[in-house]
Each structure stands twice: as structure tokens, then as C-alpha cells.
Amino acid sequence: GAVVSQHPSRVICKSGTSVKIECRSLDFQATTMFWYRQFPKQSLMLMATSNEGSKATYEQGVEKDKFLINHASLTLSTLTVTSAHPEDSSFYICSARGPAGGLGQYFGPGTRLTVT
């Protein structure tokens, strides 16, 4: 099946710093990737849709200047949390639509961000 990787798996940073999370499709090209956030005991909430070669589409309530998304190639999308605050601490998960427009999405293993 399609494999999506994420890096880092876990990061702890100080308030005010920026953190970059990478999401890669390892064995297929992903023109569209999705970034989700999940707080404890909550459902996955879509933050933005990342399109290769164009600007990301952000969901309502998600600050595009705070969560910078770059989808520079067909296998890599990055999410940068700028000037992180403790309330940004969460589980960030990326996913990609499967190859050849297959059903469902394949998820990366997630990045657990803790801002102190």
C-alpha cells in the first residue's frame, strides 16, 4: 500500500520558536496532501489542503500566517508552525490521497508537538 512518512515524530520547543514538520509520500506522487490536527480525545480536524505548485487552502479558523504550508514537489509537503505557543501543542498528522485517485487517504505517523 501507499506509504506516507512524517518527520519529526516528536518535537518539544519553546514558546515563540518555529517548528517545521515534513510529510513525504514514499512510493507514489501526491498532488494533494492534507494537514490535520488532533487534540486529546478529539476528532481529527482538517487544517488545510496542500496542493503541489500552488497555495494551500485553509479551513475556516486556521491562521495561514501562523501555519505555513509549502508543497514544493509531488512527494513533499511541509507545515511550519510559526511563533508556537503552548496552545499549539497537539498531534499533527498529514495524509495524501492514494495513487491513481484511489479511495481513502493514507496517513503519516503523526508529529506530536509540545510547546513549553
Partner 1 sequence: RKEVEQDPGPFNVPEGATVAFNCTYSNSASQSFFWYRQDCRKEPKLLMSVYSSGNEDGRFTAQLNRASQYISLLIRDSKLSDSATYLCVVQLINTPLVFGKGTRLSVIA
- Residue 16 touches partner 1, criterion: CB under 8 A: no
From 55, 64, 104, 116, residue interacting with partner 1 (rule: CB under 8 A):
104
The residue among 45 and 74 lying less far from partner 1, judged by its C-beta, is 45
DSSP state of 104: S
Contact 102, 87 (CB under 8 A): no
What is the rounded CA–CA span in Å between residue 16 and residue 116? 9
Q: Which is nearer to partner 1, 83 or 110 (CB)?
A: 110
Beta carbons within 10 angstroms of residue 34's beta carbon? 22
User: According to the binding rule CB under 8 A, does residue 105 interact with partner 1?
Assistant: yes
Query: Could you tell me the smallest distance in angstroms from the CB atom of residue 87 to partner 1?
Result: 20
Minimum CB–partner distance for residue 12 and partner 1 (Å): 15
| Of 14, 54, 86, 103, the one binding partner 1 by CB under 8 A | 103
Instruction: Sort residue 47 into left (φ over 0), alpha (ψ -120 to 50) or beta.
Output: alpha
Among 15, 42, 114, 116, binds partner 1 (CB under 8 A): 42
